[in-house]
Structure 1
């Protein structure tokens, strides 16, 4: 079952007005909770995309390296190294 958390957030001034303009009969959202959930989902997606792009860049760099840059290791050596780290 999904965990539910209740949060209280205080905003004022320009931010409050901005939220109010997005949460109304003419706005994009029916209520503040829906708006905040959408913002969190978008931020989560952004973070995941950034992580993916970083991984992709690292893999592209590794795969573009010449064969002479690679060192043969055994499975046991890899496992031992990972246990130390």
Structure 2
């Protein structure tokens, strides 16, 4: 289910000038809302890419370990280890 939230953001000075330069006839966005939505989407994509990068690095490290060093663990042992 999609939800819409209305937010009020106040910016002044150089930030306001920068937003104004990117909105309207001279800018890349029709209105401030469109601009803010795009910024949020990009930040979300960046955060997801960083999380994926961390996961890839962790998996690469795990798979680089020699197989004979693996230890069998039960699900309960894994859960207990991850709680610490």
TM-score (norm 2): 0.89
How many aligned residue pairs are there? Answer: 81
Partners of 2:42 and 2:8 in 1: how far apart?
20
Partner of 1:15 in structure 2? 15
Partners of 2:38 and 2:32 in 1: how far apart?
10
The 3-state SS of whatever aligns with 1:47 is helix
Aligned residue runs from structure 1 range 1-85, under 5 A: 1-73=1-73, 77-78=74-75, 80-81=76-77, 82=79, 85=83
Partners of 1:37 and 1:6 in 2: how far apart?
12
Gaps of 5+ in 1: none
Tell me by how many angstroms 1:26 deviates: 1.6
Tell me by how many angstroms 1:68 deviates: 2.4
Partners of 2:2 and 2:62 in 1: how far apart?
39
Root-mean-square deviation (CA, aligned residues, Å) is: 1.4
TM-score (norm 1): 0.88
